[in-house]
Structure 1
């Protein structure tokens, strides 16, 4: 009997190292004998309740392998694959089993028992075992704590044999939360090995500055790395100012490897022998180099797995940590990586290098940079979990080409995004999957990149269209407070850019704010009469820098304004630098973005009176005799101070204490005002920030508990279908499956002959629809097997004969007929599911009917859905006005989407589900047609492979 889950995985331990979990096999008996013999007397006593146990028999029993009455796992480490833990469950009866563990003394406290328990529980649950028991000696407090802290709801009882522990095998919410916490601790420890090393060796450090190893070594050295730095080169006595060594020596935390690809596995072995904690392999020639490269990568990964070393790369650009107490620039890309608050991880080296350059040009900086390359071990999931707790990182930016484990990515990103913005560029939007999909739902989802959109939407990830889009949004999010609404005050000294900006704001989900009468009156009193003050505000072309900044400050205090975009078109009399200096003196509690439509470099506007160019030349706003601009500036300062008292930071996700401090102080000193060359780019970036602020301000919605479902009945239907090989369910099975989850088809009769169809139509009364059912025919309308609005038995019988003839001619003889009562007129919609092998079940809702794929009006989310998720999907459809015009029951449509999501989430055997059309009207949303395809599910383990 084979295990129903993939229990053969490498897992991350609490200290960041790795270990291998796999099913035990009889050949493991000698290794298990050694493992048991090496246990301390105390550990052996706690495991076997005796010191006189026969180790040969115990090892043979432990190695019995996968069998009907039990199942065992082992954990191995090191190149010799030494057994360091063993776990087993033995059946007491079909639904109940006893579990037992043993962990090597030196490996205790690293979470191995918890991992083994999770894997055993998943295997047991899949086999129908609902309850685990364990008997523990009273003095074995460590093991009792393992059970109590696992998250399983344990019951503890005293018995003559010791302490008896009983708990269910099903993973509950608390257990999953504990396992996620454990995974986070392991990820942080692993990343710290890479980003916070105390000593670094560059293997392949060269005296040639144009070599990868030479450039990387000089960048680390030149940026004043705070730890020890060792060049490794057997052919040089010195590299730069440092004495070279011939091989990596003990005491090195991180090794940067830049040697020919064929030599990398050997270098990795030397590093493992020296106790190195992590590798960054810059060298190419692995996954991208065909079969030979793939074999080389497998060898490298085997070395890392055996030793517990963590790996970034291979084929990467290196890593950077700009924290002052680390100052690690271990990359050949460039030496002057700007320091800041953005954590950036890139799967593409070229994209990463361009991102560093782009950040530098914008005057923003990075807290860390990681090039993943082939992503053989550590992945974006690990770095996101690290940056979640890193106080130096305020924004996380990602360039991704693939997901190792999308659902884990979603869980990690959702948790992170509640505290810090997460931006992502995901390459590879096209798909050929639509050609293989059978249902309308499958074709709609597979033909687009909508699964990634669904993943990002559920996790609060800001999906960007490219590097410029990502960096623009990152500049706003890293340097400005979040907007608490969508109202934007636009201030410009030229009409054309102002109009373009207003249009771009509308496209970005923002609104050009109309200013209050009080603000308009005050501006009109101080500005020349040709100025436009209603909002957007158009200044005269020659407005002074002081006036420009003062107006921006004044409109920022208006109750309708949540952000300000200041657009300056350079004239002969006034330069961009002077305006930048004036804007820098403002301290606003809302976002301020600047657009400089000027030749040459953009000013870097730094709050606190400094810019990247000629800041000292700008006069302060309050200097000189009272002028209209000065009076306006004074009024603006007063209004801004008053606005700070009303500024709501609730959308910022702050604690009450932090909210009070943030409201009192406005943006931190030294923050930069993001600058742009085009108003539409500023509006687009601000729209990204506003959308994120809305998501974060909205409480996380949970899928509802559906009390009227019969999950067991649904499981029985699906099990029967799987037993005959899966495929499309029969109409009676579809109706029963949907009924188990409160999803009702229109009233119908299933019959086998034209005469019986006529009789069924008479029983239903009124107009009916007739459908022919034939094996292999999924889209009945396209096959000519549907006739609608039939009235009377005669018309139905004639239509049945016509359908039968049509199907016979096509070589798909009719098996039976479906006679349905015609649904009330309404808007044809579609609700369905496609189960992706990586993303899990994806729920779609959109325009339905025979033209569903042509219209392509669909929104998707990952199952299960909260009611709010379903309503949000519907609100984003282009067909929403049709539903509104028909006064359609949108709540009923949302309820169908929620129930379909719950059905698919609870039963992964559902490969495709298509409800099309769902006829939505003011009277409800009856399902007119439905089809369901069943396939054996791919069950994922509790702890996937490390880094995924």
Structure 2
């Protein structure tokens, strides 16, 4: 379940409090006080057989005696009573419950887990949603609903706060009260038996009373649902997150470099970044970010101008900007000239703009106007230190006037100090302009805005097409992995590793296998030139640790002697290890190459993740790596590379040419595809991957496999491209076209396809005239989440982004996966070949297999062609009561025969 029946949680018409009490200090008494005194406009019905009345309201002995079925039940009774109460409430028609009671985990008591299962089984037949158990409760100030035992009633506002910890919720309320911060929702999730972060992200993303969503996360349940909901929410409003437990188990024990480096917190960083969420590390940062994002438009870029009445605070802000990775704007000559005309001769003549300590309000206004008009300035930070000769509140009003007269830029303010500065900050608060107490806090707030801008931009960027089309031999790769498991081995042999890389077209060194030192010498003679000698053993993962690698050997005799010495050394170091001989490889010219690491590790929560960074034997010491989530495209692969320090070296330095960055990115895409295809693959290490101007070459590779119960079970946190939906179809003119899911790379060709629609087709499809398909809408239509939406296109075979699109059909499922809205369009030059019917049948078949119960759409009444098509397909057609120009068409998928 997702948002089904959540309205009964947050907008109930009636509430029952089961376990209400009059005993001072008890949870039942605090709950009763909060519910009755919050001003809730509806009946609140206390239930407890011990009392005649609670808070002056008649109490009821049990659920059966309630005069009506409550929309929402708040339960604070012993854990053994809860499953029965849920069953009774569900039978009466209650659709939501907040369970305050603890004791539903195996660690709580002997039968805590059984109680949890019984509670959920009791709720399921009635679709009754549960928040908790073991939670503080929930609050919706705008509805005057306080179904919690918090010590304070929060103010109404436009921030939603969701946390697993009840203590954090109550602390946040305490923090927010004196600062005047208000909330649309506060939810304590507790043990997260039912309603989770994914559900609430979906609900709050569509809530018109919420401007920003704040999360305090300890762990994520249902990673794919969380990622899907988070990516959807972050597209429409800021989502700011604090993740607790950053230092716990920083890296799990693993045999490979990748496993050691892919720590839990690094994976969460990748998760939040991929979802477009803004991560902060403390509650104070959480609310600084939330306040600034809720009041201030993100900048168009990262160039910041600073204006202040004191050089010291301006310099402090500049230092903070540099430390946090920001950029000081370079003022245009015209701006300098304009400032010269309105400022004293002693002003700083540059950025930061020091307008001198005696600055009256008028000087602030006159100096701010040129900065707001400078095309090289994306945002302005206005600072003020208290002085005896000028009024800070009046200066704040002058800044507001200037900002209102020249809108379009981002403005952040900091009136530094406490008692005297408070009035100035209140001016900004009253005008919904972001304000902070210190210069450093204000710079941090600007950087939150900039990070949010970059995150949203990343969600909408169009990836370039891959430089080459590759078709991995996934079946061959699966056979290799499963054969090793059948032989009771978890590490692939060098030959199996070579076959695996070949299946995914990853360039690799071609080693020669030598069973004896003599054979190794002969292999070196055959190769000619310097060679590398390596031990072969299924039991030795890091060969250099046991003297199992010797480089730059020249000649047969040298190799034979080195092999004999190596054999003796390895047997001393690892007498238990099985030795399969040696590998002999040609030495590579590394003078123009960089040693990189590329790997796969499986996170216990989010599944396979991809590691990239600087490689070599000291990779853990260097710790220059970044984590990404599969699947990847060219943009995401390049972005992953950019998070490392080695990325700068890869672009060339001091006369050394840069590496082929596209070749590295393509390798990352191939490895990510491997992670998606091979359920048995649990660790992969390519270290080093040599990268040069000529391309990449995998030199040393380790792969570990493990059996899986269900290879088809979802493993990736983000659903990968559903290749199984691809098929070749023959259209009316005899051409063979590819029917496949849409990809982000298809955006340019989708825009081209739109250009071939007639104005009438555009109006009938989009209901409004449109001259072009802009980037934002085109990105939204191509960068879809396959877990909740599907779009199929008819196109020519070839690299996505380079082939023409001849028709599109899509379906967008509701968060509850019950109903889906369809849309279909075929350019006029392709009409008359039955493509509309073909596409509609395909999407109906997909929707039925997905488990949807209904497909629906709104059609203009004059669109006779579409109405004729859907009638032939079995849709029901009904008038839209709210718009006479539209008709609603629906298809009951449950009535269709099984396919």
Q: Give your verdict on TM over 0.5.
A: yes
CA distance 1:829–1:679, change in 2 (3 Å): same
In structure 2, the residue corresponding to 1:782 is in which secondary structure?
helix
Which structure 2 residues correspond to residues 648-727 of structure 1 after superposition, within 5 A? 672-698=432-458, 699-700=460-461, 706-727=469-490
From 486, 492, 511, give the equivalent of 1:748: 511
Q: Is the 8 A contact 1:485 1:690 kept in 2?
A: yes
Task: Please say if 1:339 is aligned against 2:156.
Answer: yes
Determine whether 1:303 maps to 2:118. Answer: no
Determine which of 662, 665, 670 is the counterpart of 1:899: 670
1:789 to 544, 552, 561: 552
405-414 or 898-907: which moved more? 405-414
Residue 546 of structure 2 aligns to a residue whose secondary structure is: coil
CA–CA separation in structure 1 for the residues paired with 2:562 and 2:529: 16
Aligned equivalent of 2:28, options 197, 213, 237: 213
Shift of 1:561: 1.7
Counterpart secondary structure, 2:698: coil
Would the aligned equivalents of 1:735 and 1:744 in 2 still touch at CA under 8 Å?
A: no
1:184-263, aligned counterparts within 5 Å? 187-208=2-23, 210-248=25-63, 249=66, 250-263=68-81
Higher relative contact order (CA 8 A, sep 6+): 1
Q: CA deviation at 1:537?
A: 1.0
Structure 1 367/932 Cα, relative in aligned 2: closer, same or farther at 3 Å?
A: same
Is the 2:212–2:294 Cα contact (8 Å) retained in structure 1?
yes
* TM-aligned CA distance change 1:202 to 1:720, over 3 Å: same
Alignment of 1:435-450 (within 5 A): 436-446=253-263, 449-450=265-266
Where 1:685 maps in the other structure, the secondary structure is: helix
The 1:941/1:378 distance shift into structure 2, 3 A limit, reads: farther
Corresponding residue to 2:298 among 474, 482, 498: 482
- Aligned-pair distance for 1:386? 0.6
Q: 1:557 aligns with which of 373, 379, 385?
A: 373
| 1:505 counterpart = 2:317 | no
Cα separation, partners in 2 of 1:814 and 1:942, compared to 1, 3 Å: closer
Alignment partner for residue 355 of structure 2, among 539, 542, 559?
A: 539
Which string of whole-angstrom CA distances, capped at 9 and with x for unpartnered residues, describes residues 799-839 of structure 1? 11111111222212421211111122122110010122431
Q: Following the alignment from structure 2 to structure 1, what is the Cα–Cα distance between the partners of residues 628 and 187?
A: 30
> C-alpha distance in 1, partners of 2:51/2:400?
52
Asked if the contact 1:773/1:816 (under 8 Å) is kept, the reply is yes
Unmatched tracts of structure 1, length 5 or more: 1-11, 13-186, 613-669
Is the 8 Å Cα contact of residues 395 and 424 (structure 2) preserved in structure 1?
Answer: no
Change in CA separation of 1:573 and 1:386 when aligned onto 2, cut-off 3 Å = same
Are residues 433 and 533 of structure 1, via their aligned partners in 2, closer, same or farther at CA, if it must alter by over 3 Å?
closer
> Equivalent of 2:613, from 843, 846, 869?
846
> C-alpha distance in 2, partners of 1:240/1:576?
48
Query: What is the DSSP-based 3-state SS (H/G/I as helix, E as strand, rest coil) of the residue aligned with 2:620?
Result: helix
Q: Distance in 2 between matches of 1:356 and 1:706?
A: 54
Structure-2 separation of matches of 1:237 and 1:568: 60
Give 2:278's aligned residue. Answer: 462
Sort the Cα spacing of 1:898 and 1:671 in 2 relative to 1 into closer, same or farther, 3 A.
farther
- 1:489-531: CA deviations, max 9, x gaps? 1111122221121122233332121222222222221122222
Aligned to 1:802: 565
CA–CA distance in 2 between the matches of 1:207 and 1:542?
61
- What corresponds to 1:119 in structure 2? none
CA contact (8 A) 1:321 1:329 kept: yes
Give the Cα–Cα distance (whole angstroms) in 2 for the partners of residues 564 and 803 of structure 1. Answer: 65
CA distance in 2, matches of 1:257, 1:545: 57
2:649 equivalent in structure 1: 882
What is the Cα deviation at residue 726 of structure 1?
A: 4.5
Residue 863 and residue 942 in structure 1: after superposition, are their counterparts in 2 closer, same or farther (change >3 A)?
closer
Normalised TM-score (structure 1): 0.70
Q: For 2:582, what is the secondary structure of its paired residue?
A: strand
CA distance in 1, matches of 2:627, 2:696: 19
In structure 2, the partner of 1:129 is none
> CA offsets, 1:758-812, max 9 Å, x none?
1111222211101001231001111210000111111111111111111222212
Which is further off, 836-845 or 576-585? 576-585
SS in 2 for 1:410: helix
For residue 426 of structure 1, report the CA deviation from its aligned partner.
0.9
Structure 2 residue ranges without an equivalent (≥5): 718-786, 788-814, 818-899
Q: Give the secondary-structure state (helix, strand or coil) at the position aligned to 2:513.
A: strand
Deviations 1:147-178 (A, max 9, x none): xxxxxxxxxxxxxxxxxxxxxxxxxxxxxxxx
Cα distance change, pair 470–917 in 1 and its aligned pair in 2 (3 A): same
2:693 & 2:206 partners in 1: Cα distance? 49
Q: Given the alignment, which residue of 571, 594, 598 partners 2:417?
A: 598
Partner Cα separation in structure 2 for residue 759 and residue 775 of structure 1? 23
Show the counterpart of 2:742.
none
Match of 1:316 among 135, 139, 142: 135
Shift of 1:697: 2.4
Show the counterpart of 1:930: 701
Counterparts of 1:264 and 1:575 in 2: how far apart (Å)? 61
| Equivalent residue for 2:97, pick from 261, 279, 283 | 279
Q: Matches of 2:473 and 2:677 in 1, distance apart?
A: 11
Contact 2:664 2:691 (C-alpha < 8 Å) held by counterparts? yes
Question: Structure 1 stretch 789-798 or stretch 835-844: which is displaced more?
Answer: 835-844
Partner of 2:796: none
Aligned partners of 1:312 and 1:377 also within 8 Å: yes
Looking at structure 2, the residues matched to 339 and 409 of structure 1 have their Cα atoms a distance apart, in angstroms, of: 27
2:597 aligned with 1:833: no
Cα gap change, 1:362/1:924 in structure 2, threshold over 3 Å: closer, same or farther?
farther
Give yes or no for the alignment of 1:817 onto 2:632.
no
Q: CA deviation at 1:402?
A: 0.5
Return the TM-score normalized by structure 2: 0.74
